[in-house]
Amino acid sequence: MKKHFILILITVLTLASCKKYESQYGTETAATSVLKADVYEIAYSTESGVFLINAAMDRSKMLVSFANNASPKAGPVALSAKRDKVAYVDPDNGIPIIMDTLGNVLAQLTQYPNTKDLGWYNGEATLYILSNNQVHFYGEALDLPSPLFVVPPYANDYEVTALDINEDLDVVYGAVYYKLSSMGRDRDWYYSSTINYKSPSVTDETTVVPDATYASSQNILTDSRHYYHTVQFTGSYYSVGVQRVVVATALETPLATEFKGYYTFFENNIELSITENGRLSRYIEDRYQAEYIFTSASASWTINIPAFAPLYVDWATDF
């Protein structure tokens, strides 16, 4: 694991106690009256709240509504491998909240404000939390690569925006930052994704995308910038056992945040595609021919959101 830059410390804080969370819960809705595949396999978050969808994509459940929040907005969500716990980010204060899939609050992690991402590890033994450019653990601590986040030389306002950890304790993360031009007249924005491998014998991989340029005299709060709202390890449909990384882009402007494009997760010969207009599609991969994938048993679910509206999705694939 080759490193050249600055160490950002990983801090492991203590566990939070459970508290009552005043929220508004919804009820289940279904396209049919017959319950099929009654295990909820997909969790997603919009500005309306947090929802669950079953594997057959013919039944949904609103787990929590943001109708009573002062600033409702979509945020990261994580469904445990056992599909019985959901962690999401409160839109008002940015803290993680853990619930069971019946709607009971299990924990409010108030010590982790400004949470940018979260996820379950080793079933549900650990909830890892990305907050203020540090990774924290609720449950068993993880021995992640060190240094974890590598800040490029001369980077300003460096912010880690998304994170994922695989079974080998490799870490992939997205970041956004700017650099001043040689004369200091301009701000050049960049966004990047980095795979930080746990094994010291494997060289880390970073992809940097140049973004917009603004005059340094301009108020930075008026800048628009791209970033990755989702970075995630996933399977590969052409090479068995080969892991790859999915990244999904957002555009943050002074007025709004838009999620751009579509992306697809692959696991166990099943793919889940998420589009920018809120459509989720699930396919079973049958066979390959000349690098073309044949699928069957498709199912889809359309989320009632405007195109490009923020939408976070998590898929419990450990089945």
Q: Is the model's pLDDT at 15 over the cut of 80?
A: no
Q: In the structure, what pLDDT confidence band is assigned to residue 297 with cuts at 50, 70 and 90?
A: low
The H helix count followed by the E strand count for the chain is 0, 23
- Contact between residue 304 and residue 278 where contact means Cβ atoms under 8 Å apart: yes
Please list, residue by residue across 6-18, b when 16 or more beta carbons sit within 10 angstroms of its beta carbon and e when fewer do: eebebeeeeebee
Alpha-carbon distance of 277 to 55, in angstroms, equals: 20
Which phi and psi angles does 209 have, rounded to 5°? -115, 115
Alpha-carbon distance of 257 to 248, in angstroms, equals: 13
List Cα–Cα distances, 273 to 48, 108, 144, 237, in angstroms.
Answer: 21, 31, 29, 13
Q: What share of the chain is helix, strand, coil (3-state, %, to 5)?
A: 0, 50, 50
Sign of the dihedral through C-alpha 265, 207, 131, 125? positive
Provide mean pLDDT across the span 11-29.
Answer: 35
Q: Which of 3-17, 35-49, 177-191, 225-239 has the lowest mean pLDDT?
A: 3-17
Order the strands of the 28-30 sheet from edge to edge: 28-30, 59-65, 49-54, 40-46, 312-315
pTM of the prediction?
Answer: 0.84
| Angle, CA 230 vertex, CA 247 and CA 90 arms, to 5° | 175
pLDDT of residue 90: 97
Q: How far apart are the first and last CA of the chain?
A: 31
Provide mean pLDDT across the span 126-154.
Answer: 96
Where do the domains of the chain lie, and which CATH numbers do they carry? 27-316 (2.120.10)
